[in-house]
Amino acid sequence: MARDNQPKHRQLAREQARLARGRASRAGLPSFLIVCEGRETEPNYLSGFCEAELINGANVHIRSGGAATDPVALVRRARSLFETDRDYDYVAVVCDEAPNLTLAADLAAKAMRHADGKRQVHVDLIVSRPCIEFWLLLHFEYSTRAFATAADAVATLRRHVTDYDKADRRLFAKVGGGVERAIGHVQRLKRDLAASGARSPDSDMPRLLSELRKASRRESGR
């Protein structure tokens, strides 16, 4: 019996989330759909950031990529989720560096029609090169090291977060004090990359955090 009711429960949950986003929209706050490559690391970090920034959870829908693990599949998943609920103001995919990023970027750039029938929405591809752990490392130190593997970046991060675990629900509490430092490090890094012609290491996470801050009650005065 419970199995038969699951579709109805999911439909009710979607409708409740839609109504909550509608209330937020009427209050002048944007709504977000964020699809993450990682099942826990990125969602835990972003949830912690939203809590610290006083962003109402109803405004931000964070989803795991599930079976989708490469950037193209993640963008397809984000577009599919948007098409079933087209009242999101901003859609993003958070992923690591991968060979098919160019194809993913082309797909992400294709416009989708917002539910209001007036606006176009694109998928913002938020990439960390080589991986999300490099972005976390920037909370503690500046680096231009071109890590050979993601494991190398994890090992370097553990010099600062000795008990680092991808599934740690307290991840943001352990690194969040360095958010502004990390943003500044990315700004500096992009200047250095432009001068050298290199593409890695790098992270687009500051762009996502900047968008999320638009829904902060601290920023909006609500």
7 vs 11: CA distance, rounded Å: 6
pLDDT mean over 151-163:
97
pLDDT of residue 27 exceeding 70, the answer is no
Q: Residue 220 has what pLDDT?
A: 47
Alpha-carbon distance 148 to 128, whole Å? 14
pTM, two decimals, is 0.87
As a whole-number percent, the residues of the chain with pLDDT over 90 amount to 77
pLDDT at 66: 86
At 1, is the pLDDT very low, low, confident or very high (cuts 50, 70, 90)? very low
Which is more confidently placed, 191 or 18? 191
Residue 52: CB partners within 8 Å, gap ≥ 6? 172, 176
Residue 210 has pLDDT above 60, yes or no: yes
Q: pLDDT digit string (tens) for 83-104? A: 999 999 999 999 999 999 999 9
Mean pLDDT of 10-19: 55
In the three-class reduction of DSSP (H, G, I as helix; E, B as strand; rest coil), residue 37 is classed as coil
Mean pLDDT of 189-211: 95
Predicted pLDDT of residue 217: 73
- pLDDT above 50: residue 2: no
For the record, the structure tokens of 138 come out as 């920037």
Q: 120-121 and 90-96 as β-strands: parallel, antiparallel, unpaired?
A: unpaired
Amino acid at 159: R
**pLDDT reading at 150 higher than 90:** yes
| pLDDT confidence tier of residue 174, bands split at 50, 70 and 90 | very high
**In the predicted structure, residue 19 carries a pLDDT above the cut 90:** no
Pairing of strands 90-96, 112-113: unpaired
Look over the chain and give the mean of its residue pLDDT values, rounded to a whole number.
Answer: 89
Residues 6+ apart with CB under 8 A from 94: 34, 35, 36, 37, 38, 42, 46, 126, 128, 132, 205, 208
pLDDT tens-place string over residues 49-75? 999 999 998 899 999 988 888 999 999
